[in-house]
Each structure stands twice: as structure tokens, then as C-alpha cells.
Amino acid sequence: MQNRFTSFVLLLLLPFLIQAQPKIEKITIYSPAEIATVRQQIVDSIWVPGAKTVLPTLTFSAGINPAAFKTEEYPWLGSVGSIDKLKLILKNKIESNVYILHPRVSNRLKIPIIYHGGHGGGFWEDKNWNNMSSDYAVSVYKFFLDHGFDVVCIDLPLHGVNEKSYMWDKQTGKYLITEHGDLFKLKEPFYYFFEPIKRTIDFLQKRFGYSEFAMIGLSGGGWATTVYSAIDTRIKHSYAIAGSTPLDFRTHPNDWGDLEQNYKPFYDQFNYSTLYTLAAAGEDRLHYQILLKNDQCCFAVNGEPWAKNVQVALVNLPDPGSYKFLYDTSANKHMVSSVALDSIYNNLLKYFVIKNLPFEIRIANANKDKPMLVCRMDTIVLSNVVPGEDVIHWFRDSTSLLTQNTKALRLQGPGNYFARVTNISGIDISSDTLTVGQFLPPVITRRNGRLYSSARRGNRWYLDGTLLPDLTDDNIQPKKAGIYTVNINAGMCTSQASRPFYYGSLVYPNPASDHLILQFDHAIGQLTVALTDLNGRLILTANVESYKILRFPPTVKKGIYFLKMYNGTGYNETVKVMIQ
């Protein structure tokens, strides 16, 4: 009986249970033109056409002393080098204060990190949520400063560093603006959330030369990160932590948030799945949504159902970008955990930083105008590295030169040289590769009476150790007998000399005592040699092929003699010899 009653109750409740299942939102953008149209529609919902255009008043203060923040004992204070402040006065005199934290050591990557705080304010949340009472605690500000990034700190209107009340007077009525719901009594409520972000990015582009940005937000800052990244493609990577879910997945009262999170006229036009898609769409863009399983505040939901929907929508676009979802089970509260931050940073390095390096690390020759003309024992140097800040690791033919952590390297021999540089950001950047050849000495051969070098160019010929000027071709016609050598000259690089090539005859020692050594070019063939005195009297004669030790008779006296060498093919040479 009880089982029948249970089945009956379930049957009655079935329509309601089915209805309670969250609906997957429709995404109806299929082309670049449709993306551009929807983005413009969102822009028009934020900056309402027809509303009075009033550019905010900007006041920039450079070089604020970090000591001004010491009373708060923020965890990032030891990592900051200097602080700038940008103050914006918006419509109705509502203020927005932006702080730009510069690291002690810059990574020179020119990629700023925008960190958007939630309702507690970014500084307070980072200290009291992210960096406290958790096994996975971390300070997001400190992490990025320690890795050499500028961190741009933005808060929601009326909260954090913008906490302030305003009296609004519409004609005769007056009321206080103290919370976000009050902003929706104004004509452009979303303007107060996104005008500060847009104007800050415009300012940073102009003053610091930034062109692309990464944006991270927690809680209400995660919501702001999603919506703003949907309309501004200058945000290449966006990371929204505990910031939103599609409305139908908000089953807990805390999930509804303030009015900006669920304002029906806006989200009836632009559902969250569409916003996630737009935040990701575009070449090399990424939108990464992170929700926390143990979040005591809000959005403790596994987003895989809508994540798949967004990913499918992106696949059909020509420049799809990428959307990722992480269900963080490590965080024990509303926070950015170290697990989430590691995942964020790995994606940032792999898919953003490495593809957008503002410089190349290249090898040049320290000693010459022509940068890639190098010789053994030359010194090569790396460009765009900072010794003491970057870790430099040299390699030769993929073998680590462990003792070399310097910008300059003296070449020790042939091989393929390159360096791997670890920037303070943590990214490994490889330089180009320099191939250093052996620069072997050339070899001399003889063909048809001419001497040839094995080197095609850069030859310098020598006869008996004396440079033969203006002879640089790869072959020469010898004009006299002797020892010929050649080396190669390329700029300031000179090879070792070739092995000696004996052309014609070589007669030594001279002066002689009891013998002469005769060497001949083997191409000459057999020679007849005859030693005569000054009067022409024959002392001795012999036949020689290539090499011969010619010993004098014991009766030979000291003095001057002539050694005549000849054959039947026209070779005829006479050498004066001194016997002592």
C-alpha cells in the first residue's frame, strides 16, 4: 500500500520535477556579422544612445608611496615597486578609483593583468578571502607582481575603494545612492559598472602602450569580467571566478545577487550563455569560468551542462576562441584558490603570453658589424635579456652548458648554439639558433699545371710563407717553384693554413754541409740533377723521382755551387747552393 502511495505522489509531482530541471539557454550567434551586431546591442544597452555623452574627468597620480597602504598589511606590499592611481568622475559625480600596481622587477611582456574585485573590494577580498584560512590560500596581487606583471585594480561602483554614498536629485526629489539597486533608478545603470573599465583600458593603451589585456575577477568582479569581455576584444583572456551562472541554474537565494546580475530587460536580450560565448569569441581569445564546489556564498554549481553548449556554439564560428570551465573542489570558501590560480596562469602563459611576446631573444656577434659572421673563440651575445633578472641557459647541440648563465658566451668550437631564457614571468623563451662551422683549413690540389684550393671563396695564397697579394680565387698559376699554402679569410675570421704543397723543386738545407734533400712535385716526373762548381766542373749527377737525399763526395770543398734540374718535357731549373 505504501509503495502505491509513493508512486502516486511521484506521478503527481513529475511535471513539477521535470519543470524544475534547469533549461539550457539558446545561443543564436552563428557568424562574425551576428557577433558584431549583438556586441553593439550590448554596448547600446550600457551606453544608451541618445543619453548625454559626458566623458569622465580623469586624474592620474603617479608614484604613490606604498607606505600609504601599510596599515592594512596587504600581502602584496613587499612585491610592489610603485603605485599609480587613476581617479574617474563619472556622470552624477559618482567616483571610480583605479590603482595600478607596478612590480619591483618587470617581466617586460607588456601584458597587464586587470583584477576586478567583488562587493568586498579587491584589496580586502584578496587579503581576507584569497590569502587566509585555507590550504590553498594565495594572494592574486602578490602572485602576479612576483611574476613581473602590472596589476590594474578595479572595484565595483559604491564598493571597495569606491565605497561612498551619493545624493541624487532628480528635479525636486532627492534620494541616496548607496547600493547597486539605487543605480537602476538612473538612466544608464550599467554605465557605472563598465565605463571605468573602458576608460582605464583606453588610458593604459595611451600612456603605457598596452594593446592587449588579461582580466580576472572574483564574485561581482567575475560577473563584470564576463560582461565586459563580451564586448571588448582587447581583453584576450578573461577569467571569471564565482561570478555568475545562467539564471535558470540559480537555485539558491544567494545566487541571484544584486540587480545588475538579474536585470530582466537586459538578460531577456542577452542570456549568460551568449555572454560567455561572446567573451570567448575571436582569434586567440579565451574565457575561463571557474565555480567553486564548496562556495558558501553563491554559484556552487557544476557548469558542465551549459559549458558544453557554449563550446558547441563556438565550434561553428570562423574565429571561435576558446571557452573553458573548471569546477574547483579545492577551495573551502568564496575565493580564488591556488589551484584555480595555477590553472589560470598555465593557460595565460601557454595560450596568451607565448603567442604575444613583444620581443624576440636573438643571438648576435659581440665583435663584428655583421651579426651572424662568427668564428671560433668569438663572443656571441643575447638581445632582450636582463642578467640577474632572467635565468639564461646556453646549449650547444642540445647539450647544456651548465656553467654558462651569462648574456655573452665565448664559442669553444663548432656546433648549433642557442639559449633558453626563463623570464621572471615563469615563461621559457628560446632564442634563435646559431650554427658555427668547423672552418677547416683548405686543401691544395694540382690540375693542368694550376693549384686549386678546396674553398670556393675567401682564399689567401702564400709562397714560402709570404702572402701573394691580390690572389683570392680558388685557383692560381704558380710562377715559381716553392712551398705553397692557402688559408681562408672571411671578414675577421681566418682558418688555419693548408698543408704545404711543394710546387717545382724544394732544395734544402741551404747552406748545406754534406748533403742536400731534393723534393719535387710528383707531376714533374723523373728529373736529372747535376751539381757543378763555379767553373762548370761536374761534381755529381743523379736521377730523381719526387724525393732524393743527394750526398756530396768527400772531396767537395766549401764554396758556391749550382744544382741544375731538368727533364725531357721542358722542366729546367737551376738553384745556387752554398756548401760550408
- The domain boundary, picked from 463, 478, 502, lies at 502
| Rounded Cα distance, 529 and 527, in Å | 6
Do 477 and 515 share a domain, yes or no?
no
Q: Which residues pair with 515 in a beta bridge?
A: 551
Q: At 501, which helix (H) or strand (E)?
A: strand 501-503
Do 269 and 418 share a domain, yes or no?
no
pLDDT value of residue 19: 47
| Rounded Cα distance, 290 and 301, in Å | 10
Helix (H, G, I), strand (E, B) or coil at 280: helix
- The domain boundary, picked from 322, 353, 384, lies at 353
Output the pTM of the full model.
0.75
Whichever domain contains 314, its CATH number is 3.40.50.1820
Look at residue 419 and tell me if it is in a domain.
yes
3-state per-residue secondary structure call for 148-172: CCCEEEECCCCCHHHCCCEEEEECC
Do 312 and 414 share a domain, yes or no?
no
Q: Specify the number of domains making up the chain.
A: 4
**How many C-beta neighbours within 10 Å does residue 279 have?**
30
Report the chain's terminal Cα–Cα distance, integer Å.
140
Do 429 and 302 share a domain, yes or no?
no
CA-CA distances (angstroms) from residue 325 to 281, 452, 566? 15, 70, 94
Look at residue 24 and tell me if it is in a domain.
no
Look at residue 375 and tell me if it is in a domain.
yes
| Rounded Cα distance, 304 and 25, in Å | 13
Sign of CA dihedral 29, 35, 38, 42: positive
Do 349 and 265 share a domain, yes or no?
yes
556564498: which residue's cell?
297
Q: At 202, which helix (H) or strand (E)?
A: helix 191-208
Do 265 and 400 share a domain, yes or no?
no
The verdict on whether omega for the bond into residue 112 sits within 30 degrees of 0, i.e. cis, is: no
Domain around 494: 444-502
pLDDT value of residue 403: 64
Sign of CA dihedral 551, 557, 563, 564: negative
Look at residue 16 and tell me if it is in a domain.
no
Look at residue 449 and tell me if it is in a domain.
yes
pLDDT value of residue 404: 64
Q: Cβ(459)–Cβ(486) under 8 Å?
A: yes
What are the start-end ranges of the H helices in 258-354? 259-262, 264-267, 272-280, 304-315, 338-348
Do 397 and 529 share a domain, yes or no?
no
Look at residue 206 and tell me if it is in a domain.
yes
Burial of 438 (0-12, 13-18, 19+ CB in 10 A): exposed
Do 174 and 260 share a domain, yes or no?
yes
pLDDT value of residue 10: 42
Look at residue 2 and tell me if it is in a domain.
no
pLDDT tens-digit profile, the chain (580 residues) = 444 444 444 444 444 444 467 899 999 998 999 999 999 999 999 999 987 778 899 999 999 999 888 888 999 999 999 999 999 999 999 999 999 999 999 999 999 999 999 999 999 999 999 998 788 999 999 999 999 999 999 999 999 999 999 988 766 567 799 999 999 999 899 999 999 999 999 999 999 999 999 999 999 999 999 999 999 999 999 999 999 999 999 988 889 889 999 999 999 999 999 999 999 999 999 999 999 999 999 999 999 999 999 999 999 898 889 999 999 999 999 999 999 999 999 999 999 988 878 778 888 866 554 445 566 667 888 988 888 889 999 999 989 987 667 888 888 777 888 999 998 998 888 898 887 766 678 999 988 768 999 988 889 999 989 999 989 999 998 877 788 999 988 765 778 899 998 787 778 888 999 999 988 777 677 889 999 999 999 999 999 888 889 999 999 999 999 999 888 877 788 889 999 9
pLDDT value of residue 173: 64
Sign of CA dihedral 171, 176, 177, 183: negative
Residues in the chain: 580
- State the amino acid at position 568 in one-letter form: G
Do 140 and 286 share a domain, yes or no?
yes
- The domain boundary, picked from 401, 433, 465, lies at 433
pLDDT value of residue 8: 46
553548449: which residue's cell?
309
Burial of 105 (0-12, 13-18, 19+ CB in 10 A): middle
Do 403 and 466 share a domain, yes or no?
no
pLDDT value of residue 438: 64
| Rounded Cα distance, 544 and 546, in Å | 6
Look at residue 518 and tell me if it is in a domain.
yes
Can you spell out the DSSP letters for 341-366?
HHHHHHHHIIIIITTS-SS---EEES
Q: Cβ(352)–Cβ(288) under 8 Å?
A: no
Do 180 and 202 share a domain, yes or no?
yes
Can you spell out the DSSP letters for 389-440?
TBEEEEEETTEE-TT--SSEEE--SSEEEEEEEE-TTS-EEE---EEE---P
Do 349 and 408 share a domain, yes or no?
no
Q: Are strands 459-463 and 482-490 parallel, antiparallel or unpaired?
A: antiparallel
| Rounded Cα distance, 271 and 266, in Å | 8
**How many C-beta neighbours within 10 Å does residue 508 have?**
11
pLDDT value of residue 369: 47
CA angle (536, 541, 543) in 5-degree steps: 140
pLDDT value of residue 370: 46
